[in-house]
Amino acid sequence: MNRTPHVAVVGATGAVGIEMIKTLEQRTFPVRKLTLLASARSVGKKLKFKGADVTVQELTKDSFRGIDIALFSAGGSISKEFAPVAVAAGCAVVDNSSAFRMDPAVPLVVPEINAADVKSHQGIIANPNCTTAITLMALYPLHAAFGCKRIFASSYQAVSGTGAKAIAELERQVDQIVHGQPVTREVYPHQIAFNVLPHVDSFLPSGYTKEEMKMENEGRKIMHHPTFRASVTCVRVPVYRAHSVAVSAEFERPVTVDAALAVLRQAPGLDVIDNPAQCEYPLPLYQAEKDNCAVGRVRMDCALENGLCFWVSGDQLLKGAALNAVQIAEELLKA
């Protein structure tokens, strides 16, 4: 891998694409040249990178000649169509969609957990689901120490997880309600302002949604833990940025709050904010635009053997997407 790579961002004008560009700059990723790719309607737009304007180009089958690393965040159908084309052109792909996550030939990576899996890539590396990544930032260190058998969890997911149009929808609905106007909706099946929707992604025959099953399926792959079980309810909340998850975890070995906090304080990419007496705990409002996730409300679970409850919050656009993708690209440079 070229140590000063030519990097492409696919889906550059979307919410995650814009964060990818910012993250490449903030982490001083050694970009030799940056190419921004998007659909025809975005062609000609200019986005800033290191103080200079970069013009968005149309994504085509010929876009990947000479590109070393492509960060994809343009949806699963685009990834399925263009990622193999990019690989054929000699490009390493970090894909933010769900298209390849469960493919046995594709590593699914959270660098703080399983960075070594990057080395086995055959051209494509998958970025995990945002809620899964944020949850595992706190769960995996505890699993490594105490052996996690299963979790019960509820997510509190920001509208940023649905993209830029959903952020605009929440802003618009709040303004409509404040001014006594009829509420209009386009993105979600119900009003999201001042409401919560127990519905993220599409429903499966089991009654779970696809999003809810990602925690178990992707968690098993990332943690190399094939018997991991997760019963999850995913909920969309009227928050702009940062997802939060309430987790009850059951472990094989005895666990105490003090032992758990000691483990969590050593975990990379994770801050411990746990002082309930002073009303100090992770809040999505304050985790927004922060690279690290935060964990708090750590307590013994009163319904599970060797059980622990905790609350974890993290920026969906960063650790849940753009930051994790750039961290994977950093691992590619080491490989």
Q: What is the model's pLDDT at position 164?
A: 82
Q: What is the model's pLDDT at position 15?
A: 87
Q: What is the model's pLDDT at position 278?
A: 98
pTM for this predicted structure: 0.95
Annotated catalytic residue 309:
no
Q: What is the model's pLDDT at position 301?
A: 98
| Domain 132-316, CATH homologous superfamily name and number | Dihydrodipicolinate Reductase; domain 2 (3.30.360.10)
- Residue 328 CA to residue 94 CA, distance in Å, equals 7
Q: What is the model's pLDDT at position 168?
A: 95
Q: Which residues contact 36 (CB under 8 A, 6 or more apart)?
A: 8, 9, 12, 13, 17, 21, 47, 54, 55, 56, 57
**Other Cβ atoms within 10 Å of 77 Cβ, number:** 10
Annotated catalytic residue 243:
yes
| Total H helices, total E strands in the chain | 9, 13
- Residue 106 CA to residue 95 CA, distance in Å, equals 10
- Residue 132 CA to residue 122 CA, distance in Å, equals 23
Q: What is the model's pLDDT at position 91?
A: 97
Break the chain into its structural domains and give their ranges.
Answer: 6-128+321-334, 132-316
SS3 label, residue 93? strand
**Topology agreement, domain 6-128+321-334 and domain 132-316:** no
- Reported in sequence order, the residue ranges of 129-260 that DSSP labels E, i.e. its strands, are 148-157, 229-236, 243-251
The correct answer on CATH 1.20.120.80 for the domain covering 6-128+321-334 is no
Catalytic residue among 143, 148, 243, 309: 243
Q: What is the model's pLDDT at position 80?
A: 97
Closest CA to 192 of 174, 213, 219, 217: 174
Q: What is the model's pLDDT at position 321?
A: 95
Give the C-alpha distances (Å, rounded to integers) separating 166 from 14, 15, 234: 12, 10, 17
Walk along the chain (335 residues) in steps of 10 and give the mean pLDDT of each run. Answer: 92 94 97 96 95 96 96 95 97 97 97 97 97 98 98 97 92 98 98 98 97 98 98 98 97 98 98 98 97 98 97 96 97 89
Catalytic residue among 130, 148, 293, 309: 130
334: burial class by Cβ within 10 Å (0-12, 13-18, 19+)? exposed
